[in-house]
Amino acid sequence: MALTDRLSVGVRIVTPGYFQTMSIPLLKGRPFTEQDRDNTTSVILVNEALANRFWPNQDAIGKRLAFEADPGKQSWLEIVGIVGNVKHKALAIDVMPEVYVAYKQDPSNFMNLVVRTDSDPVSMIPAIRNQVLSIDKDQPVSDIMTMEQRVAKSVASSRFVMLLLGSFSVLALGLAAVGIYGVMAYLVTQRTQEIGVRMALGAQKRDVLKLVVGKGMALAVIGTAIGLIASLALTRLMRSLLFEVTPTDWLTFVITSVVLLTVALLACYIPARRATKVDPLIALHYE
């Protein structure tokens, strides 16, 4: 099968041991070996996305690919292995079909060195740099990062946006709690005489508590329902900031609703508790 420029395929040139070092699983076939040289059969490995796209429900091992559109210039490459999908560029970018080429069959002038270590990777940087310079003293060694640092760098902008949104959310939650408390406190003040009459006629403290809290929670439930509907309508705006989480994750909505209603309950309870302590005699003379 010939791959033309109409299909975007990532091509990565790697050496034997790359997949083990990067913990990329070999799903089928074999990895590259030292025997894969320029004087042997040209072989490649493909990722699962490419195999599923061109050979769904088939075995891609043994199939051949060519990248040139001109049949007279096509150089066929045999697939000897299938590896797992990897997001090399960014977490927000969808997995794309990729081909891995053996370095000794198609050398590149620019390569990245990947090292896996059991100890602190930062402590190994001087040793790695010295090892490279011992092979080629003119070889520049730069842009050294741990994998955690590279991942953090790739999501830095998204993390900042989420941190900003999280800070505003906490602030909004605090303002909502203060607002609910203020409204309920004002409501209790306005209905002090009514509460006094109710208690004078035999209403128990729990009845007053239920009255005030029920009024506040009814408004909180309505507000939460409206907020959930609005959130569902705006989930598409958050899709680019989420990784491995769907914008309509039901658990997130449930937890958020519980937190909001809990805060509303606490904000309602304090004024309601104060209402239960109203002296009926004083309330009856309240103006």
The per-residue pLDDT for range 178-235, each reduced to its tens digit, is 888 888 777 777 777 777 777 777 777 788 778 888 888 888 888 888 888 888 777 7
Closest Cα to residue 81, out of 110, 131, 43, 36? 43
| Residue 150 counted as domain residue | no
The reply to whether 175 and 91 lie within a common domain is no
The reply to whether 166 and 102 lie within a common domain is no
Count of Cβ atoms closer than 10 Å to residue 227 Cβ: 14
The reply to whether 166 and 104 lie within a common domain is no
| Residue 99 counted as domain residue | yes
| Residue 139 counted as domain residue | no
The rounded distance, in Å, linking the Cα atoms of 189 and 184 is 9
The reply to whether 105 and 184 lie within a common domain is no
Domain range for 166 is 155-284
Global pTM? Answer: 0.63
Question: How many folded domains does the chain comprise?
Answer: 2
| Residue 5 counted as domain residue | no
Pair of tokens at residue 162: 């989420």
The reply to whether 74 and 14 lie within a common domain is yes
The reply to whether 164 and 274 lie within a common domain is yes
Per-residue pLDDT of the chain (287 residues; tens, 9 = 90+): 555 545 678 889 999 999 999 999 999 999 999 999 988 889 999 999 999 988 988 999 999 888 765 555 567 899 999 999 998 877 777 788 999 999 999 888 888 888 988 888 888 888 888 888 888 888 888 888 888 888 888 778 878 888 888 899 889 888 888 888 888 777 777 777 777 777 777 777 788 778 888 888 888 888 888 888 888 777 766 666 666 667 677 887 888 888 888 888 888 888 877 777 766 665 555 55
Question: Could you say which of 111, 144, 163 is where a domain stops?
Answer: 111
| Residue 132 counted as domain residue | no
Quickly tell me which residue has 């760098």 as its tokens.
Answer: 153
